Structures are given as C-alpha cells and as structure tokens.
Structure 1
Amino acid sequence: MLTLLKNARLFAPEPQGLCHLLIADRRIAAVVPADEPLPVTGPAVEVIDLAGRRVIPGLVDPLVHFTGGGGEGGFGTRTPELALEEAVASGVTTLVGALGTDALTRTPAGLLGKARELAAGGLTTLAYTGSYQLPPVTLTGSVGNDILFIPEFIGVGEVAISDHRGSQPSTHELARLAAEARTAGMLAGKAGIVFVHTGDAPSHLEPLREVARTTAIPLSQFLPTHVNRTQALFEDGVRFAREGGRIDLTTSTTAALLADGEIAAAEAVARALHARVDPWRVTLSSDANASLPRFDAGGRFVGLEPGRLSSLFAVLGQCVNDHGIPLERAIGMASTHAADALGLPHKGRLATGHDADLLVLADEGWAIDEVWALGRRLHRRG
C-alpha cells in the first residue's frame, strides 16, 4: 500500500511550502510541490488531505529511561517504565534508552527488552550500553562487543561526570571508554557516541576537555547532557560548544529545580543562539521516566519527580512561541541535530529516502494532530 499525504505545509526542517508526500512502506518515496501533478494515483494509493496543516519531522530524543529510573531515596522512589501509549502520543518517534544511577536492579538486558517492546509498537528504539558507573555494565562482557553485535546499542552512556553519584572516573578511564566505543562504532557503522550525564560539581565539563587535550579522541565523541541544570554549567557548556563539542539540554524540569537555578530548556536554547553557538552543536532530550532529584548542600536526598517524554514537544513550542525562534531552527534542536550526533542518517529530515517519521500539527495552538512513524499513523488526536 502506498500513502499520499496531500497539501502538507512542509518543514523538512527547512520550509518547503505546500507539498505532497508519497510514503512507500517505511520511507518517503517522493516529495512534490503541491502545484505539480500528483506523483501517483490509483486504487492502491491511500490519499489523505492534510489541508495545509504543518508537517515536521518526528522528534529524536537522545535520552529516555525506558525502564524507569530513580531510587536515590530508596525503593519507594523508583520511577515507572515508559508506557507505549504515552510514547506514541508524545511526538517522539526515535528514542534512545539508557540506564542511570541504578544499574543494579535495572539491567542492559531489561533495557534492550523494553526497547524491543516499544519497537513492536511502531517506534524506532535504540539504546546505550553501560550506565552512570565505571566499569560499565554490559550484555556481552564489553562495551565494544555490545555496540558491534547488538543492533540497538549505538554507544555507551549515561556515564556520570562531576556528580557525587558517579564513579569519579579518571581521564585515563574516560579515554579508554571513549576509544572502545569509537572503534566499535566505526566497525559497526554507528556513532559510538559517549553520552555523558553532567552533575553540578565545579569540574563541570573539564574531564571531557582533559581527554581531548591528552589523547586523539575529539570532543565530538562525547555528548554531555543536563547542561542547563545550573547557570555555571550552562556557561561552561557554551564554551564547550565553541571549542568544538556538542551540548544537550534537558527539557523535563520541575518548579523546585527552576527555583534552585536550573535554566528552562527553551530559554537555554535562546541564550545559546544569542551567544552565537553553532545551532548544530545543540540538542534537546527529555530525560523521560528518569528521576529529577533534589539534594541539599550536604548531598542528602530531598525529593524527586519523574521526567516526561511530552516535555520535548512542549519545549519545541516554547522555543517558537515564547522566544521567537523560527520553527525550522527549533526543529533542529529537537530532531535533526540529534540524528546527526547519533549517526542516524535516515532520521530528523523529511526528504526522499528518509524514514517516514512525521508529525502533523494542529491548525490552532501548539498541539499534535497526528503522529506517523515508519510510514504508519500511530496516533490521532481525539
């Protein structure tokens, strides 16, 4: 069956005007301006008229805790797994799963199983081997083997630096881990990215700079997240991006975290652009189903709330509506840039040959009317 989406006001992410999109199986077979003849007609073609509604790429989220997170306050503070129903309604069509603080009761095997459960529901799901701690937990006995032989594993993470919950890795340990992930990624045709949880210790992103200064590993092998968690960390992140690295901003937050000094993700995007950071060096992630914990000055647990996958689309809207960032530029932060950083060439764009992952936006307000993933409509509002 072929599907023809007529009269889409297309942002690919660049604005393309009114277009028709032909979907064949899982991919986009053609993109044709609306004033040209339809690419194909006939009884084998399902035709859907979008009547000029905006169509954007499906969102790409580099950090989702498929199997839940938390537990820093005891077993009663564990957060739940991600539900398929929540995922398909969120607008995120490509999700990368990670373990976090807890790699004892949650495992790479459980993470992989959950990834395949969500994939059976129509989404594209990938994952990182390892967790906050070093040496990393793996399925096959090594990071390199996990990346090379398990299709879903595209890198290692969420490795913790500058955080009291991490293993306080040395420069040598970080360099060895990055080298293993990089080489295995090259052999497997993957990014081999090292996805890095960054805490609020004064060292900030300096451990990653030290690796780049003392080895042949480039800053771009790392993708540090939570860079908007404090003002000082954000300022260091701006410097890091100017030095050739990438930074990831967390969209899930709480009133308490904002009161403690976290910068809201949309505001952080606006500040980064104002500071003339190359937009391609900035990504957004939801940290969905992780705990968003608070600790006092002595490092004692105060409380937590779970991250939400829906926050990624919400922050995309805030970038556009509250900060005046053009939609095509904001889309990059929530989709295209992450696809590039993670080595996913068929994601984050709506063009011939790319995966048919797309969102149909509502005519009024900031809302999703339809979610399409790999050529299938998974969600329709109402």
Structure 2
Amino acid sequence: MLFLFKHADVYSPESGGRCDLLVGGGKILRMEPDIRISRKYCDVIDARNLRAVPGFIDGHVHIMGGGGEGGFATRTPDLPLTDAIQGGVTTVVGCLGTDGYTRNMAGLLAKAKGLDEEGLSTFVYSGSYGLPLRTLMPSLEEDLLFIDKVIGAGEVALSDHRSSQPSFEAFAQVVAMARRGGMLSGKAGIVNVHLGDGPRGLDFLRRVLAETELSAHQMLPTHINRNPRLFEEGIAYAKGGGFVDFTTSTLASYLDDGEIPCAKALRRMLEAGVDPGQITFTSDGQGSLPDWDQNGRLQDISVGRVQSLYQAVRQAVQEEGVPFDTALRVITSNPARILKLKTKGRLAPGMDADIVLLDPSDLTVRTVMAKGRLLMKSGKLLAKGLFQ
C-alpha cells in the first residue's frame, strides 16, 4: 500500500519546512512540497499542524528481559511491542546484561526476530556483561560476519561490582575483535560498554586510545550520567572525540544519589562545548534498576522503560531549552550514524519509512509508522504483540 503524508512540518531531524511524504514498499519514495496522487492509489494521512520526525532508535534495550541480581524472581520481563510503539521507537538494539546464562544469545536473537515480525527493526549486540564473550558462533568476528542482526558486542561491564573484573588486555582484545569483525562485515563493530559506580570510570577506554591503534569510534560507553564524577569524565572523553550515551530510565533514589537527569545532562554537555553529534540517549528498557546499599546488598529492584527515551528528549526541549532539532538527534541521526544503520535516523527519499508524527503543542507522539506499516494513528494503537 502507498501512504501519502500531507502538509507535515518536517524535521529530518533538521527543520525542512512544510512537505509531503510518499511511502511505498517500506521506503520513503518522495519528499516534496506538494505531491499529487489519486486517493484511490494511496492512503492519505493529514499531517497538517503536526511535526514529522524520523522513528526513534533505542540502542540499548534488554528486549528479552534482564535483571536477576536478587535471584530468579527478580528477572525482568521481555519488551512488549506496544511499549515501543507508544514511545515512538521503531528501531531497537537488543542486549544481554548481568545474566548471560539463563538469558543467552540464541534467545536474544529469537526475540529480535519476533519483534521484527511484529513490525519493528531490530539488531543485537553479541555477548553480555562478562568476558570472555559468550557468542553464538566461535568468535565475535564470525557473529558480525554471518549473523545479519549482530552489529557489535556488549554490554561489557566495567567499573562495576557485577562485572567479570576483566583485565585491560582482555577488554582491549574485545575492542580489537569488534574492529576486525566490523571492517570485514561492513558493520559498526562497536563495543557497548556498561559503566558502573566504580572509581576506574573510563580508564580502560582512555587506555585503549593511548596504548593501542584502536579508535574511539569502536566504543560506546553508556550510563555516563550515572554520577557527577563519571559525567565530568564523559565531558572530557567526548571533547576528545569519544561517543557518550546517557540512560533515560531512572529511579528517584538514583537521582537523590547524584545521577544527572538526561535532559539536564544534554544541556550541560552542550554548554561545555561537546559536539552534539557525539551524544546519544538509550533507555536500558526492560533492564533491571537495582537499588544497592553501601555494602552492595540489594534493597529494591525496578525495571527500565523504553518510553522513557522520548520523554527525556521532550524534557530537554521543554524544561532545559535545548533546540528541538538538536535534542532529536540523540535518538535519530546520531545513533544511526554511530551504529552504521544506513537507512535509519533521517527522513529522505530512499530511507526506511520510519515516521513519527508529533503534536507541536506538547510534543506528544500521535502517529507511528515503522518500515512503511502504520502501528499507531492519531493516538490509537493499530498493532500489538501476539500475546498482549
């Protein structure tokens, strides 16, 4: 079916003015000020007084659930399709976390394929918190070469009591394997790095840059807004050319302990002179949000939400005064470029038809199209998971 979005205020993510978008075969076919085509050949969507933006990319989601830090009952549930739709998320990158045993790569890939069948675009990282990596094939390079959905490794945990406490050499070797596999497969080959509260912070990443020939573009450290010390490290790292990722899912106790809200973190990084193209937001959706005491004992546990991703972007615009097109980049064009998702993150002819319509009065999500299929229209869900 052909779809024609009429009179949209386009942000691709830069402002492009009033435009029509013709969609067919899962792609944006044309994007022009006034496209005329008979209504009997297409479904016309009136986008007058609405903003058309690229579908959101969430690059760090525990799509098959995570957690387990407090025992079997604390394993978090998998991602429901409707959570992504209502949050405007059309592309997700799945990962494993602390538990790479009862949750494994075969299950992660199966869940990714299931979400793909239900309407989303999906990719995965190979491995989990621990090193050596537990991959599907004998090596990370082979996962990158022969499994289409694998785009990198992770999330590898550093500076955290839950990590495998790898040596620097072991970590650098994973980055090197990701580099080789990425080159050979034409993929990002990036290592998603979980950073905890430990004092070592970004030390291993800085050492990779200082002691090897590897590039900062092979590593994406996440949870950079976790505490003020790590955040300040992140500013210096990003100004030196590294990527930094902020986590949008949070708890009141995290904020009380010094975590910097993503909206405020984005404003502060921009004020510090960080290139806005170096910054991404991810939700850590369906991952556990554990509350530890000073002795590392679990006091409580909650779950991250994919819908927090765009909520943080809205807050950056509405509460922190970040320009809309700048804030939009951290969940559209930036992750698409960093993760080498070449048909994602922008509105232009030839790109995937991942389109979100926003109400400009409050920036709420009204309509969601993914891969040319309408999943929500005017606030009404048109799709849901089979077992929802």
Query: Please, what TM-score do these two structures have when normalized by structure 2?
Result: 0.96
Equivalent of 1:299 in 296, 299, 302:
296
- Out of 232-241 and 362-371, give the one that drifted further: 362-371
Supply the distance in 1 between the matched residues of 2:98 and 2:244 (Cα, whole angstroms): 21
How much does 1:307 deviate?
Answer: 0.2
Residue of structure 1 equivalent to 2:13:
13
Q: CA deviation at 1:366?
A: 3.1
- For 1:226 and 1:185, the matched residues in 2 are separated by 24
Give me the whole-angstrom Cα distance separating, in 2, the residues matched to 1:206 and 1:33. 50
Q: Residues 240-319 of structure 1: matches in 2 within 5 Å? A: 240-319=237-316
Whether 2:217 is the aligned partner of 1:220: answer yes
Q: Per-residue deviation at 1:46?
A: 2.2
Q: Secondary structure at 1:236's aligned position in 2?
A: helix
2:137 counterpart (113, 137, 140):
140
- Identify the residue that residue 187 of structure 1 maps to in structure 2: 184
Structure 1: how far apart are the matches of 2:314 and 2:356?
13
CA distance in 1, matches of 2:8, 2:163: 47
The answer on whether the counterparts of 1:30 and 1:39 sit within 8 Å (CA) in structure 2 is no
Contact map agreement 2:49 2:359 (CA 8 A) in 1: no
What is the distance in 1 between the residues matched to 2:224 and 2:182? 25
Of 370, 373, 377, the match for 2:370: 373
Q: Distance in 1 between matches of 2:170 and 2:36?
A: 54
Instruction: Indicate the residue corresponding to 2:172 in structure 1.
Output: 175
Which residue number in structure 2 is paired with residue 156 of structure 1? Answer: 153
Q: Give the Cα separation in 2 of the matches to 1:76 and 1:238.
A: 38
* One-letter amino acid of the structure 1 residue matched with residue 363 of structure 2: W
TM-score by length of 1: 0.97
Aligned to 2:358: 361
Structure 1 residue aligned with 2:4: 4
**Alignment-mate amino acid for residue 160 of structure 1:** A
Structure 2 counterpart of 1:173, which letter? A
- What is the one-letter code of the residue matched to 1:320? V
Once the two structures are TM-superposed, the CA of residue 188 in structure 1 deviates from its matched residue by: 1.1
Match of 1:322 among 316, 319, 326: 319
> Which segments of structure 1 move beyond 2 Å, counting only runs of 4 or more?
39-43, 362-366
Task: State the shift of 1:24 in Å.
Answer: 1.7
Please give the secondary structure, in 2, of the residue aligned with 1:235. Answer: helix
Larger displacement relative to structure 2 (247-256 or 25-34) = 25-34
SS in 1 for 2:331: helix
Q: 1:171 to 1:260 in 2, by over 3 A?
A: same
| Correspondences of 1:79-98 after superposition (within 5 Å) | 79-98=76-95
1:115 and 2:112 are equivalent in the alignment: yes
Residue in 1 that maps onto 2:32: 32
AA aligned opposite 2:20: H
Q: Which amino acid aligns with 1:91?
A: G
Give 1:209's aligned residue.
206
2:73 corresponds to 1:61: no
CA deviations 1:202-250 (Å, max 9, x no partner) are 1100101111111111112100000001000000001110111000000
Q: Secondary structure at the match of 1:292?
A: strand
CA contact (8 A) 1:22 1:39 kept: no
| Distance (Å, rounded) in 2 between the aligned partners of 1:18 and 1:246 | 33
Q: How many residue pairs are counted as aligned between the two chains?
A: 379
Residue 108 of structure 2 corresponds to residue 127 of structure 1: no
Q: CA deviation at 1:377?
A: 0.7
How far apart are the structure 2 equivalents of 1:288 and 1:302? Answer: 20
The answer as to 2:343 corresponding to 1:331 is no
Task: Give the aligned residue type for 1:31.
Answer: M
Unmatched 5+ stretches in structure 1:
none
**Partners of 1:39 and 1:175 in 2: how far apart?**
55
Displacement of 1:40: 3.7
Q: How far apart, in 2, do the equivalents of 1:98 and 1:148 lie?
A: 18
Shift of 1:363: 4.7
Distance 1:357 1:177 in 2: 33
Residues 267 and 320 in structure 2, CA contact (< 8 A), matched pair in contact too:
yes
SS where residue 43 of structure 1 aligns? helix
